[in-house]
Amino acid sequence: MSQPQIEMTKDLTIPKLFLQQCKKYGKNKVAMREKEFGIWIPFTWHDYYENVKHLCLGMVSLGLKRGDKVAMIGDNRPEGLWAEMAALCGGGVGVWLFQDCMMDEVKYIIDHSDAKFFVGETQEEVDKALSIKDACPKLEKIIWDDPKGMRHYHQDFLISMEKVQELGKELDEKEPDLFENLIHEGQGDDICLLFYTSGTTALPKGALLSHWNMLTMGHNLMAVDPCYDSDDFVSYLPFAWIGEQMMSISCGLQIGYTLNFPEEPDTALENLREIGPHVMFAPPRLYEGMTRQVQVKYIDATWIKRKIYEFATKVGYKVANLKFEKKPVSWNWRFLHFLASVFMQKKLKDHLGMSRLRHAYTGGAAMGPDHFRFFHALGVNLKQIYGQTEIAGISIVHRDGDVKFDTVGTPIPETEVAITEEGEIISKSPSVFLGYYKNEEATEKTLADGWLYSGDRGFIDEDGHLVVFDRSKDVMTLSDGRPFSPQYLETRLKFSPFIREAWVIGDNRPFVTAVMCIDYSVVGKWADEKKLNYTSYPELSQKAEVYDLVQKQIEEANRDLPTPAKIHKFVNLYKVFDADDEELTRTSKLRRAFVENRYKDIVNALYTDDEAVHMDTTITYEDGREQRIKTDLRIQKTIL
């Protein structure tokens, strides 16, 4: 068990590293596993190599040239990673799409990126590609890998991955050196990935990242938190998210740890538990989900289990707080902590798939301090990562033993972070991207003298930790003139298991208000126990009892806040914010400008004396269908 040392040179590319690792491990080590038909199926580095080689050569014989874009969409699975690696080996550029992208997003990205190949998983993705094919003339071939439902598709630009690999095999027999020659042609400064950022305001922008960007990022992160080639990692978050690329490609390839792919997206958490990874990186949403799961199970548990849980969390919180304050933990507390660990924490961590976890990272959005503390009280080494897609995902991370729940940590090696006079966070590192694809204007706004302008407001505290306040444009001015981060309050509200989403309003307004989305399953269960009748989310959300429940959660979050920042009024929305309705980005960040416009009637009503607001609106389903909703939403005041 050692951390492999990779020498960073400008000549190194991801495919070269891939080749190096395949030769080193060969048939002796498992590169990845996928759970299929109920069994974990291993693929050695040799299998990985063979599959990528044939796929790459197949693409080449179909016309892949250096610099061509290959768009990819699908669940996390070995084939997805092979396709990406094959595209990179052939000198292509990978463009990942989110699995749940709507049609026009797919069209925009395929068209804007000039993608020549489209790699989809099943019929669903092929259908998406077919419906945009006419609008994207540069798209030449559509490759699929799962034959399910494909029996009626015979268009000549459709080809199965198996077929492509066969073509690759033929080419390999003719020109056995071709594959490695292709790899050796690459340079570190070549573009490897084109990442479409979710964009909280405008159309997605394509960030160009080079091999050098990706590799230095992984190298610098691994310098902070070493991983070993005996480690396991579970890959289940979208490849279109930079965080997943970071762990699966940049770090995964450098370290050589085993990637594990879940059977289906629905089984990911179950599979996570089976593997018990050593390292994980997930957006806050996932940790919030886990917290909610624990809180709900706690409510359901028997008396004795609840008491043990209460004791153990009390001890956990106490010890975690001492550690946060960097104070010594007395022997008494250590003993109690040991008991807590034996009787509760170990079991709970096992259920969450965290029993072997060395480092857990969260990033991509703000995480509430309550969630953060919750995991530390459980003994999980959860750390913040801060970074943008434009800096290959990471510039700042917490160090072991130096975790502060209100900061995001300190810069990784080779990275400088500074604050401009306006309070904007800027950073500089070898991983800073090359610019936006076909968007000079945006590039100029974001990049100056090698500094990346993040658009986030923050400051550096006395310990040198970066504190991210909020997106500059989201920072609110309270009635007393003080700045305030709505995100902070929202994350606190979301610590309640009953609250799924929250949207805090109050910029330059006389008081603060909120639009709340309840969690259907948790509140639904609560309502069942209270014998409340309901048939749908809209109906449940408008029950007087549910309003009182939500009010209680808000008052809890209000407690430590100064009066101008307290939520005065709220409304329960008839649905949950959804990325399909463009209310959230694909990485689940609230698009404030959009919701403000969409729900302006609600916002207006919150600042008048109205007691209800009438809504008449349409919602969109993933397949494009629309449904009209007419309903009255009640407005309720909180007790301050």
Partner 1 sequence: MTQAANPNEGETILKLENVHMYFGRVAALAGVDMEVKKGEIHSIIGPNGAGKTVMMNCINGLYRPQRGNIYFKGDRINHLKPYARAKLGISRTFQKIELFGGMTVLDNIRLGRHIHLKTGIVSGSIYVGKTRNEELQARKFIEEEIIDLLEIESIRHKTVHMLPYGLQKRVELGRALALNPELLLLDEPLAGLNLEEVEDMARFILDINEEERWKVTCILVEHDMGVVMDISNQVFVLNFGNKITDGTPTEVQNNPDVIKAYLGEEELYATRR
- Between residues 127 and 229, which has the closer beta carbon with respect to partner 1? 127
- Between residues 270 and 611, which has the closer beta carbon with respect to partner 1? 270
- Between residues 100 and 507, which has the closer beta carbon with respect to partner 1? 100
- Between residues 122 and 187, which has the closer beta carbon with respect to partner 1? 122
Q: Looking at 1, 7, 28, 38, which residue binds partner 1 (CB under 8 A)?
A: 38
Q: State the minimum distance, in angstroms, from the CB of residue 107 to partner 1.
A: 23
Helix (H, G, I), strand (E, B) or coil at 633: strand
- Between residues 148 and 473, which has the closer beta carbon with respect to partner 1? 148
Helix (H, G, I), strand (E, B) or coil at 231: coil
- Between residues 274 and 424, which has the closer beta carbon with respect to partner 1? 274
260: which DSSP letter? E
Q: What is the CA angle 232-237-243, rounded to 5?
A: 80
What is the SS3 assignment for 93-120? EEEECCCCCCHHHHHHHHHHHCEEEEEE
Q: State the minimum distance, in angstroms, from the CB of residue 264 to partner 1.
A: 5
In the range 119-148, which residues lie near partner 1 by CB under 8 A? 148
Of 403, 464, 8, 30, give the one whose Cα is nearest residue 212. Answer: 8
DSSP string, 48-93: HHHHHHHHHHHHHHTT--TT-EEEE-SSS-HHHHHHHHHHHHTT-E
Q: How far apart are CA 19 and CA 21, in angstroms?
A: 5
In the range 449-508, which residues lie near partner 1 by CB under 8 A? none
Q: State the minimum distance, in angstroms, from the CB of residue 104 to partner 1.
A: 21
Q: How far apart are CA 317 and CA 320, in angstroms?
A: 5
The reply to whether 529 sits near partner 1 by the rule CB under 8 A is no
CA 285 from chain centre, in angstroms, equals: 8
- Between residues 151 and 327, which has the closer beta carbon with respect to partner 1? 151
In the range 556-595, which residues lie near partner 1 by CB under 8 A? none
Site mask, partner 1, residues 250-269, x = CB under 8 A? -------------xx-xx--
Which two structure tokens, joined as six digits, stand for 49? Answer: 């190599």
Q: State the minimum distance, in angstroms, from the CB of residue 273 to partner 1.
A: 12
Q: Looking at 26, 42, 67, 149, which residue binds partner 1 (CB under 8 A)?
A: 149
- Between residues 173 and 266, which has the closer beta carbon with respect to partner 1? 266
- Residue 373's contacts (CB-CB under 8 Å, 6 or more residues apart) are 317, 320, 321, 405
Q: How many residues bind partner 1 (CB under 8 A)?
A: 11
What is the number of alpha carbons within 13 Å of residue 4 lying toward its C-beta?
19
Which two structure tokens, joined as six digits, stand for 349? Answer: 């961590």
Of 283, 65, 86, 56, give the one whose Cα is nearest residue 175. Answer: 56
CA 438 from chain centre, in angstroms, equals: 25
Site mask, partner 1, residues 265-304, x = CB under 8 A? -xx--x----------------------------------
- Between residues 149 and 413, which has the closer beta carbon with respect to partner 1? 149
In the range 296-355, which residues lie near partner 1 by CB under 8 A? none
Q: Looking at 7, 134, 151, 531, which residue binds partner 1 (CB under 8 A)?
A: 151
- Between residues 264 and 400, which has the closer beta carbon with respect to partner 1? 264
**Burial of residue 266, with CB atoms counted within 10 A of its CB: 0-12 exposed, 13-18 middle, 19 or more buried:** exposed
In the range 372-401, which residues lie near partner 1 by CB under 8 A? none
Which two structure tokens, joined as six digits, stand for 497? Answer: 């298991």
- Between residues 266 and 421, which has the closer beta carbon with respect to partner 1? 266
Of 104, 105, 50, 51, give the one whose Cα is nearest residue 80. Answer: 51
Q: State the minimum distance, in angstroms, from the CB of residue 524 to partner 1.
A: 12
Q: State the minimum distance, in angstroms, from the CB of residue 153 to partner 1.
A: 13
Q: How far apart are CA 54 and CA 387, in angstroms?
A: 35
Q: State the minimum distance, in angstroms, from the CB of residue 580 to partner 1.
A: 14
- Residue 8's contacts (CB-CB under 8 Å, 6 or more residues apart) are 215, 216, 219
Q: How far apart are CA 311 and CA 274, in angstroms?
A: 28
Q: State the minimum distance, in angstroms, from the CB of residue 41 to partner 1.
A: 12
Q: Looking at 37, 325, 533, 639, which residue binds partner 1 (CB under 8 A)?
A: 37
Q: State the minimum distance, in angstroms, from the CB of residue 127 to partner 1.
A: 12
382: which DSSP letter? E
Pair 86, 50: CB distance under 8 Å: no
Amino acid at 298: Y
Q: State the minimum distance, in angstroms, from the CB of residue 102 to partner 1.
A: 17
- Between residues 146 and 244, which has the closer beta carbon with respect to partner 1? 146
Q: State the minimum distance, in angstroms, from the CB of residue 263 to partner 1.
A: 5
Q: State the minimum distance, in angstroms, from the CB of residue 206 to partner 1.
A: 33
Q: Which residues bind partner 1 (CB under 8 A)?
A: 37-39, 148-149, 151, 263-264, 266-267, 270
